[in-house]
Amino acid sequence: MSSNLIETFGQTAAGLLDGLADVVAGPASSLRDGTEHAGVVLPRDLYAHAGAQTEWWYYTGHARTDSGRRFGFELVFFKRRTDLDRFGPVPLRLIGNPLYLAHFAVTDESRGRFGYDHRKSANGLLDPPGRADSRRLYLRLGDWTVREAHGLHLLRATLGDDLVFDAALRPAKPAALNGREGAGVSFKDHGEASRYFSYTRMSAEGDITWGGVTERFRGDAWMDREFGTWAPTDGQKGWDWFSLQLEDETELMVYHIRDRHGRPSTFSSGTFVDAEGGRTHLAREDFELEATALWRSPHTGATYPSGWRLRVPRVGVDVNVTPVLRDQELDTRGTTMIVYWEGACVVEGTRGDRPVRGRAYVELVGYDRSHESPSLVTFLFGPALDRRWRSVFG
């Protein structure tokens, strides 16, 4: 069969499926209304946006139980409008629009164990219920939830029958609006931006149940909120993101956006928050990030940086960031269609002329490239195949 005939057949199939999607799910929107670069408005922008292509609510934290057991956690909810997405000729909005997705991971530092799960919902017949409320902070995917009450962010998630996590987080500082102008507009490339703000220090307390035994915990958490419609470019092929909470009550967020050659983009940036909550924007030239070790995943074969030296002369920071476990990789091809590393880390170094310690979370995206050839079968059935939590915690 000639390549021209195959191409013609594919175009015909795509046209027919687009027509079917228009009937079943409605016409596709461009998801751009001219407000893509408007500044953040709180509390409104804490809630869901009907017209945003991508948005997420990202919680990470470090805690210790009353018995002394240390752990880190990641809980993230995503909402994705699928108007512009497709698998080959198949418009994704035929499957669902919007899609709701969530990841939950726990790093048991004291016992050297890591487990995670991930979910998705199009609110179909067999899906768990998904929701992201546009009038209040309320997120749900099955029995995983985030909601706000009396100034607290209340989180609940589970890993099968092995682990139950309930946490109450209270912001200790005002939201930090990320981006150059201090309005919460974070440019990823020329003309492409998200709205982005962070609660860089939240007091955390709650209960965690491991294998039927419930313990009280306390610690610190971080929340990132990002939303908008931005197009992928050759300058956005991956990123290395860092959130540091230092023991002197300051916080630091930096990220490298990597281009198709693996080089840091000039749109990489960061934010420093002082002990009183004052914010300083950091441009790409304000910080230096150097990998000090590598780790190759036995699960996917991807090779990641696994230790860093981070220097920010402008605010006197010179620290080493070290993972508490090397293997904190998540294979979420059945939900968000990527493989990435996200993990709890320890921080040690200096700030000014004084020693400083702290905790961090680091996210590494784009070192595995399987998302460039996504599989519809894996997307539909992947969570049943690749979740990694069974018999991990006890």
How many CA atoms are closer than 13 Å to the CA of 27, on its beta-carbon side? Answer: 2
Predicted TM-score (pTM) of the model is 0.92
Does residue 393 form part of some domain? no
Query: Can you tell me the distance from the alpha carbon of 37 to that of 183, in angstroms, rounded to the nearest whole number?
Result: 10
In a domain, 25, yes or no: no
Find the CATH number of the domain harbouring 334: 2.40.370.10
Range of the domain at 302: 31-386
Distance separating alpha carbons of residues 360 and 382, to the nearest angstrom: 29
Which two structure tokens, joined as six digits, stand for 50? 């009907």
Q: How far apart are CA 375 and CA 215, in angstroms?
A: 40
Q: Does residue 392 form part of some domain?
A: no
Does 42 map to a domain? yes
Domain count, the chain: 1
User: Is 26 part of any domain?
Assistant: no
Residue 77 contacts residue 139 (beta carbons within 8 Å) = yes
Measured between alpha carbons, how far is 330 from 339 in angstroms, rounded to an integer?
6
In a domain, 232, yes or no: yes
Closest listed residue to residue 101, CA positions, set 297, 323, 330, 325: 330
In this structure, is residue 140 part of a structural domain?
yes
Q: How many residues does the chain have?
A: 394
394 residues of the chain, pLDDT tens digit each? 444 533 443 454 556 667 676 676 678 788 888 888 999 999 999 999 999 999 999 999 999 999 999 999 999 999 999 988 888 888 888 888 999 999 999 999 999 999 999 999 998 877 899 999 999 999 999 999 999 999 999 999 999 888 999 999 999 999 999 998 889 999 998 988 999 999 999 999 999 999 899 999 999 999 999 999 988 888 888 999 999 999 999 999 999 999 888 889 999 999 999 999 999 999 999 999 999 999 999 999 999 999 999 999 999 999 999 999 999 999 999 999 999 999 999 999 999 999 999 999 999 999 998 887 777 777 777 655 455 655 566 5
Q: Does 5 reside within a domain?
A: no
User: Other CB atoms closer than 10 Å to residue 44's CB: what's the count?
Assistant: 10
Pick from 9, 96, 7, 115: nearest CA to 387: 115
